Structure 1
């Protein structure tokens, strides 16, 4: 019997709710093919018992896992990699080459997150990061294919949210495992019109034009669905891709006039809040505006930080 935090998406793909921040916020994926398994994104250290329980619920032992593939090394996607790998004797870690060193020695990764979140939040949400022995780490490359029990997966470089980001294409389902490249789509915002999506930046490496190019490249494969980390599977990908492009442009238009404004951060947060409320109104969301902003509070803060860093880099 599968635990209630595991959702069977068909075709050997299972979404695991990692319980990070709130229910249905952060997903890791387990793919199974011919008795072999792979985890795509892991969540944090606190998610590892759930990942192992999901594996066991399918009658698979830890020796069945061949691959652990984080889409990028941000901690809500890869914070649990080191701890998980300690339980998987046969697994290899497949990570973007720009991120590999951070999972081998996560000290810099931890300190970077610590500067953003503070010590109390780091311990509550992430725990102590564990490194992965270098001999168990493979660096991905653009256009790489790997086999899982005879099922071929394609990896492509997808910068924009972060420069250490790749996405994974599964031809069987015509679906991408998108990490943060195809944005965030929380199930609380689903309406009769379908899912709603918003782009996500990062306080370090947000690059709007690169992100748009990555989305365009992913769409060139004719996907039927996207497997998002935040949160789970979405369809109607053509509409969502168009929305992401338009919203990235809107973020840039909001940010550019504020480059030298001493109240830039608060004005960015206000502008993003107004933008999302209008987007959700047009989408037919029935939640009260206060609740909408509550669910989006962390994303508004991080997107404002990401836009600010992008603006400062443009000025240099």
Structure 2
């Protein structure tokens, strides 16, 4: 296993090997007086987090807080299991997410709808978070984790209604979860800076997403700490690309939805059209068609297509 990366002042990144993929989902470690984790990924990632903490010389008993940007299982599914290793930690979550951590039955049901028979392999076990270990934080709330650092919480819907943004004033950085999209550091190494929106089901709302992104811009941030994956020090370019691709995602999805023949296999056809667009874009930038990133891109686009399909069906009164 590769060691955690120090990516800014007292901020480390552990690769969670989510979905058995490197550089898919990360856990951030804030090595302050009150040691704080941001995200846990799903339960199969917990051994990687524990190993990463060990390599940083941090005991799980030393963790004070585990912050979840939102409760989708690839960000929060392992929180209950992680707590069994962290007897002194509290879990911080959006007001709309707390009850689903205490009773994850609806989370499980939703993930099974997306991942089908792969669910158990990817997410088990999902352990309930005891209610007395939960702290609710919302818009305007703060959390002091050292004399110099107080984190600030923002309500940032668009990807999900139960989504927090976490502002780190010392580094002028935002832990954006999934609201501001996905960053692909694998492509950076090929000389291609690339970001996509993530529009997964079932609370995707493009207007709310754009509004949340504008809130990030208003903060004058200099860094984005992405849930998927890593830090970008070029927020203006990240926001530009995410907004542009969000427009492309919506237009392609609407065209498929408007064609009765294509609508029969709605998600499949949206996925194909978007994947072709993304591949064409990357091909023009010199990326080989057999690059390993395409496996991850296809997965991300397919899940985003499910959310686009759900959004359009909801917009059209459930017509399918």
Does 2:126 align with 1:129?
yes
Question: Of 272, 275, 282, which residue of structure 2 is paired with 1:273?
Answer: 275
SS in 2 for 1:263: helix
What TM-score does the superposition give when structure 1 sets the normalisation length? 0.93
What TM-score does the superposition give when structure 2 sets the normalisation length? 0.92
Partner of 1:106: 104
- 1: CA distance, partners of 2:179 / 2:221: 14
Does 2:145 align with 1:148?
yes
Q: 1:285 to 1:83 in 2, by over 3 A?
A: farther
Post-superposition offset of 1:134:
0.4
| Residues 220-253 of structure 1, C-alpha deviations (whole Å, 9 max, x = no match) | 1111111112111112110111111111112222
Of the structure 1 ranges 229-238 and 189-198, higher mean CA displacement relative to structure 2 is found in 189-198
Does 2:57 align with 1:56?
no
Post-superposition offset of 1:55:
2.4
Gaps of 5+ in 2: none
Aligned residues: 311
Of the structure 1 ranges 12-21 and 55-64, higher mean CA displacement relative to structure 2 is found in 55-64
Contact 1:189 1:285 in 2 (8 A): no
SS in 2 for 1:210: helix
Partner of 2:303: 302
- 2: CA distance, partners of 1:29 / 1:262: 45
- 2: CA distance, partners of 1:212 / 1:278: 25
Partner of 1:165: 163
| Residues 24-62 of structure 1, C-alpha deviations (whole Å, 9 max, x = no match) | 11111111113x211100111122122223223333332
Q: 1:285 to 1:29 in 2, by over 3 A?
A: farther
Contact 2:13 2:27 in 1 (8 A): yes
- 1: CA distance, partners of 2:295 / 2:2: 25
Contact 2:114 2:303 in 1 (8 A): no
Partner of 1:85: 83
- 1: CA distance, partners of 2:48 / 2:78: 11
Gaps of 5+ in 1: none
- 1: CA distance, partners of 2:272 / 2:29: 38
- 2: CA distance, partners of 1:268 / 1:200: 14
Aligned positions of 1:95-244 closer than 5 A = 95-119=93-117, 121-150=118-147, 151-190=149-188, 195-244=193-242
- 2: CA distance, partners of 1:285 / 1:139: 46
SS in 1 for 2:219: coil
| Residues 126-167 of structure 1, C-alpha deviations (whole Å, 9 max, x = no match) | 111001110111111111110112320011011111111111
Partner of 1:26: 25
Post-superposition offset of 1:296:
1.1
Contact 1:93 1:138 in 2 (8 A): yes
| Residues 259-311 of structure 1, C-alpha deviations (whole Å, 9 max, x = no match) | 353423233122211221233245x2423267554331111211111111000
- 2: CA distance, partners of 1:255 / 1:62: 44
Post-superposition offset of 1:67:
0.8
Does 2:315 align with 1:314?
yes
- 2: CA distance, partners of 1:173 / 1:67: 19
SS in 1 for 2:12: strand
SS in 1 for 2:18: coil
SS in 2 for 1:33: coil
Contact 1:195 1:234 in 2 (8 A): no
- TM superposition outliers: structure 1 runs of 4+ over 4 Å: 191-194, 289-292
